[in-house]
């Protein structure tokens, strides 16, 4: 950066992203009395995940009464697992109800952010000019940049190609031959929705997931009236949903053997719906339940049993003209390819755009693996706080719980920064190293690391830098307040008087 660009605005805090994380941060800042902030968002509306994922069947897989802000319960959730339109509308209402609109800057993609030691400020270059900020909150999303494999021949495919998070609503799949690539959380929601509509569906599966029945139902109008009239009833339901999930954590983290009963249930789920032994064999995982994200569906297996579906138990190797060629050599001619291939998680693109105090990017810093203190702050990157940073993901509960914990940390960080008299706080390398060594020590026994699968939780070195190996209550305690002993105080260097 040249440093000559005109600054559009200086703010106390610049928040990047307006999904659950960025909006939650904005609400919290206002509650803490901080009004001098902007939310920089590359898209044209709020919602993040729930704006971008509009594929058929898109819904949450953690019950809505838990997958929402504790400070903004919604008595009107229509289903136990609400769909994308309702979750998106909920986030739009959050922006209105908490008066966040004046702070939102849409079509402001952060192209680069650079720590300027001379002023102890972040300089953020956006697609609409430069902002400076004392503190930057990166709420760019763990699952916001789609990952599409770089396959030979894909660029020359004559038909439609899109990723689940960039659904092409102008392309009508009716009567088409469609390849769906991937069998993760999005693909298993898409397949049953489009199977009745398409002529032929080819599912390219590298690894089958374990899938449990989904306890989904309409929430009755009587229940909604109850939640509206007696908010304590909704709070009690949320607490019950939370407790069940907290009680499961021990099995995933410490005693994967306890997951055997759940695996037997998931196996029965396959046997119940899939009668063809060859198909059953293809759909039965060879790794332990819980190693990859456990998925929920009542409609996926029945859809795969339909005559217009071909399950290819092999990944996509290349595209030849309009033919998709699997790694096992199977070929299918198709009109469209839908990628349900996930996101850049352990190589988040924002990493290469943030440059810290030593002139190195976060991407360079994290080339051997993502690491932060308490999933939030990174040594050498003063006054930068992540919302959903390294090792804050969950396998079985609501990410909003983790987000709210990090917002407690953010609020305390700003208070400590004010009272410390410093311009910035910078994590000591020792504190960061200690925290991550402990996280990885606890990770070693988890089913994610020992269950015999290769999941998107693991980075190129096989380290799990994505998930939190503990309960959400434990993370809440760990992020309740900032321990200044873990930081060094950064002051603005005294300027040398100019010599005449």
Ligand X SMILES: Cc1cc2nc3c(=O)[nH]c(=O)nc-3n(C[C@H](O)[C@H](O)[C@H](O)COP(=O)(O)OP(=O)(O)OC[C@H]3O[C@@H](n4cnc5c(N)ncnc54)[C@H](O)[C@@H]3O)c2cc1C
CA-based nearest residue to 439, from 468, 478, 403, 476: 468
Sign of CA dihedral 460, 284, 60, 230: negative
Check: CB of residue 80 under 8 Å from CB of residue 216: yes
Region binding ligand X by CB under 6 A among candidate stretches 54-62, 193-201, 294-302, 412-420: 54-62
Told to check if 398 binds ligand X by CB under 6 A, we report yes
Region binding ligand X by CB under 6 A among candidate stretches 138-146, 153-161, 191-199, 258-266: 138-146
User: How far is it, in rounded angstroms, from Cα 296 to Cα 389?
Assistant: 26
Check: CB of residue 190 under 8 Å from CB of residue 180: yes
Region binding ligand X by CB under 6 A among candidate stretches 141-149, 203-211, 319-327, 460-468: 141-149
Q: How far is the CB of 323 from ligand X (least distance, A)?
A: 29
Q: How far is the CB of 368 from ligand X (least distance, A)?
A: 23
Q: Which of 11, 14, 15, 41 binds ligand X (CB under 6 A)?
A: 41
Region binding ligand X by CB under 6 A among candidate stretches 36-44, 98-106, 287-295, 321-329: 36-44
In angstroms, how far is CA 329 from the centroid of its own chain? 34
Told to check if 60 binds ligand X by CB under 6 A, we report yes
Told to check if 49 binds ligand X by CB under 6 A, we report yes
In angstroms, how far is CA 7 from the centroid of its own chain? 31
Strands in 238-383 per DSSP E:
295-296, 309-312, 316-320, 323-326, 331-333, 336-339, 354-355
Q: Which of 11, 26, 38, 62 binds ligand X (CB under 6 A)?
A: 62
In angstroms, how far is CA 498 from the centroid of its own chain? 49
Q: Which of residues 409-428 bind ligand X (CB under 6 A)?
A: none
Residue whose pair of structure tokens reads 């995940």 in the numeric block: 49
Judged by beta carbon, residue 324 or residue 351, the one nearer ligand X is: 351
Told to check if 19 binds ligand X by CB under 6 A, we report yes
Q: Which of 143, 274, 324, 326 binds ligand X (CB under 6 A)?
A: 143
Told to check if 242 binds ligand X by CB under 6 A, we report no
Number of other residues whose CB lies within 10 A of the CB of residue 352: 14
Residue whose pair of structure tokens reads 């380290």 in the numeric block: 463
Told to check if 21 binds ligand X by CB under 6 A, we report yes
Q: How far is the CB of 322 from ligand X (least distance, A)?
A: 28
Judged by beta carbon, residue 29 or residue 313, the one nearer ligand X is: 29
First vs last C-alpha separation in the chain: 28
Q: How far is the CB of 224 from ligand X (least distance, A)?
A: 20
Region binding ligand X by CB under 6 A among candidate stretches 37-45, 243-251, 443-451, 480-488: 37-45
User: How far is it, in rounded angstroms, from Cα 57 to Cα 33?
Assistant: 40
User: How far is it, in rounded angstroms, from Cα 25 to Cα 16?
Assistant: 10
CA-based nearest residue to 339, from 457, 459, 183: 183
Told to check if 53 binds ligand X by CB under 6 A, we report yes
Check: CB of residue 17 under 8 Å from CB of residue 140: yes
- The count of residues in the chain is 500
Told to check if 109 binds ligand X by CB under 6 A, we report yes
User: How far is it, in rounded angstroms, from Cα 226 to Cα 223?
Assistant: 5
User: How far is it, in rounded angstroms, from Cα 439 to Cα 391?
Assistant: 8
Q: Which of 28, 88, 130, 141 binds ligand X (CB under 6 A)?
A: 141
Judged by beta carbon, residue 234 or residue 392, the one nearer ligand X is: 392
Q: Which of residues 178-217 bind ligand X (CB under 6 A)?
A: 186
What would the two tokens of residue 332 be? 């299918």
Check: CB of residue 399 under 8 Å from CB of residue 48: no
Judged by beta carbon, residue 44 or residue 277, the one nearer ligand X is: 44
Judged by beta carbon, residue 22 or residue 290, the one nearer ligand X is: 22
Q: How far is the CB of 225 from ligand X (least distance, A)?
A: 25
Check: CB of residue 47 under 8 Å from CB of residue 88: yes
- The count of residues interacting with ligand X (CB under 6 A) is 33
Told to check if 16 binds ligand X by CB under 6 A, we report yes
Told to check if 48 binds ligand X by CB under 6 A, we report yes
Told to check if 113 binds ligand X by CB under 6 A, we report no
Q: How far is the CB of 62 from ligand X (least distance, A)?
A: 4
CA-based nearest residue to 385, from 417, 349, 360: 417
Compose the 346-365 pattern: x for residues touching ligand X by CB under 6 A, - for all others. Answer: ----x---------------
Q: Which residues bind ligand X (CB under 6 A)?
A: 16-22, 40-43, 48-49, 53, 58, 60-62, 67, 109-110, 139-144, 186, 350, 387-388, 398-399
């Amino acid at each position: 950066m040249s440093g000559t660009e005109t600054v559009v605005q200086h703010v106390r805090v610049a928040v990047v992203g307006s999904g659950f994380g960025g909006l939650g941060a904005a609400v919290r800042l206002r509650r803490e009395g901080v009004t001098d902030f902007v939310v920089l968002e590359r898209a044209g509306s709020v919602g993040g995940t729930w704006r971008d994922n509009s594929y058929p069947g898109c819904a949450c897989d953690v019950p809505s009464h838990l997958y929402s802000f504790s400070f903004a319960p919604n008595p009107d959730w229509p289903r136990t697992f609400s769909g994308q339109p309702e979750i998106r509308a909920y986030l739009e209402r959050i922006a209105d109800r908490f008066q966040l609109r004046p702070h939102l800057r849409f079509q402001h993609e952060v192209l680069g952010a650079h720590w300027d030691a001379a002023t102890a400020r972040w300089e953020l270059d956006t697609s609409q000019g430069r902002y400076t900020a004392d503190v930057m909150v990166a709420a760019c999303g763990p699952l916001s940049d789609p990952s599409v494999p770089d396959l030979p021949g894909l660029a020359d495919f004559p038909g439609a190609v899109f990723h689940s998070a960039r659904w092409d609503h102008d392309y009508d799949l009716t009567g088409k031959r469609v390849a769906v690539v991937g069998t993760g959380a999005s693909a298993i929601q898409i397949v049953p929705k489009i199977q009745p509509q398409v002529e032929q569906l080819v599912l390219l599966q590298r690894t089958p997931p374990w899938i449990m029945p989904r306890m989904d139902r309409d929430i009755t109008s009587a229940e909604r009236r109850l939640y509206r009239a007696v908010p304590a009833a909704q709070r009690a339901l949320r607490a019950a949903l939370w407790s069940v999930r907290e009680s499961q954590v021990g099995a995933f983290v410490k005693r994967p053997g306890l997951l055997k009963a759940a695996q037997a249930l998931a196996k029965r789920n396959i046997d119940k719906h899939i009668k063809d032994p060859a198909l059953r064999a293809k759909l039965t995982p060879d790794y332990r339940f819980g190693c990859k994200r456990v998925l929920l569906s009542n409609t996926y297996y029945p859809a795969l049993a339909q005559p217009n579906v071909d399950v290819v138990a092999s990944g996509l190797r290349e595209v030849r003209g309009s033919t998709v060629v699997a790694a096992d050599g199977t070929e299918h001619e198709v009109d469209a390819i839908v990628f349900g291939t996930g996101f850049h998680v352990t190589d988040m693109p924002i990493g290469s755009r943030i440059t810290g105090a030593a002139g190195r990017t976060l991407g360079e810093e994290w080339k051997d693996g993502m690491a932060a203190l308490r999933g939030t702050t990174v040594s050498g990157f003063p006054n930068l706080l992540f919302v959903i940073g390294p090792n804050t993901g969950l396998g079985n509960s609501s990410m909003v719980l983790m987000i709210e914990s990090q917002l407690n940390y953010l609020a305390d960080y700003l208070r400590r920064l004010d009272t410390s008299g410093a311009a910035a706080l910078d994590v000591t390398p020792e504190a960061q190293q200690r925290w991550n060594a402990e996280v990885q020590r606890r990770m070693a026994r988890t089913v994610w690391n020992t269950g015999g699968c290769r999941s998107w939780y693991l980075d190129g070195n096989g380290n799990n830098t994505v998930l939190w190996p503990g309960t959400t209550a434990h993370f809440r305690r760990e992020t309740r307040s900032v321990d200044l002993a873990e930081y060094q105080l950064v002051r603005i260097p005294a300027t040398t008087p100019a010599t005449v």
